Amino acid sequence: MLRHRMENSRHGRDRPAPLPAAAHRTAPGAPPATPPVPSTGRALLRVARDVAQYCCVAGPLLDGLGVTLQVVAASLALALLAGLLAALLRQSGSRVGRALAVGYVETVRNTPLLIQLFVVYFVLAPVLGMGRFAAGVLALSLFEGAYIAEILRAGILSVPTGQWEASRSLGMDVPGTYMEVVLPQAARTALPPLTGQLVSLVKDSSLVSTIALHDLAMQAQAVAADTFLVFEVWFLVAGMYLALTLALSALAQLLERRLRYEF
CATH number at residue 235: 1.10.3720.10
Instruction: Give the helix ranges, DSSP H, for the chain.
Output: 2-14, 21-25, 39-91, 95-109, 113-119, 125-128, 132-157, 161-169, 174-177, 183-204, 216-227, 230-262
Are 122 and 128 contacting, i.e. CB atoms less than 8 angstroms apart? Answer: no
Burial class of residue 132, CB neighbours in 10 A (0-12, 13-18, 19+): middle
Q: What is the pLDDT of residues 12-66, one digit of tens each?
A: 444 544 444 444 444 455 455 555 545 676 665 665 565 555 555 667 888 889 9
pLDDT (average), residues 154-174: 83
* Selection from 51, 49, 47 nearest residue 59 by Cα: 51
pLDDT of residue 254: 85
CA distance to 84, 140, 172, per residue, from 188 (Å)? 15, 24, 22
Q: How much of the chain exceeds pLDDT 90, in percent?
A: 33
pLDDT of residue 52: 52
Whether the predicted pLDDT of 198 surpasses 60? yes
In a domain, 198, yes or no: yes
In a domain, 252, yes or no: yes
In a domain, 255, yes or no: yes
Cα dihedral across residues 145, 146, 148, 152: positive or negative: positive
In a domain, 39, yes or no: no
Q: What is the pLDDT of residues 59-116, one digit of tens each?
A: 788 888 999 999 999 999 999 999 999 999 988 888 898 999 999 999 999 999 999 9
pLDDT of residue 19: 46
Burial class of residue 184, CB neighbours in 10 A (0-12, 13-18, 19+): middle
Are 198 and 253 contacting, i.e. CB atoms less than 8 angstroms apart? Answer: no
pLDDT of residue 21: 46
CA distance to 155, 213, 217, 257, 258, per residue, from 262 (Å)? 17, 41, 40, 9, 6
Most confident of 31-35, 146-150, 190-194: 146-150
Q: Report the predicted TM-score, pTM, of the whole model to 2 decimal places.
A: 0.74
In a domain, 12, yes or no: no
pLDDT of residue 214: 84
Rounded Cα distance between 131 and 111, Å, is 23
Mean pLDDT estimate for the chain: 80
pLDDT of residue 50: 55
Structural domain of 163: 64-262
Return the SS3 of 254: helix
In a domain, 153, yes or no: yes
Are 222 and 60 contacting, i.e. CB atoms less than 8 angstroms apart? Answer: yes
pLDDT of residue 20: 47
Rounded Cα distance between 252 and 247, Å, is 9
Q: How much of the chain exceeds pLDDT 70, in percent?
A: 76
* Total of domains in the chain: 1
In a domain, 33, yes or no: no
In a domain, 55, yes or no: no
Rounded Cα distance between 102 and 261, Å, is 35
Instruction: Give the helix ranges, DSSP H, for 94-182.
Output: 95-109, 113-119, 125-128, 132-157, 161-169, 174-177
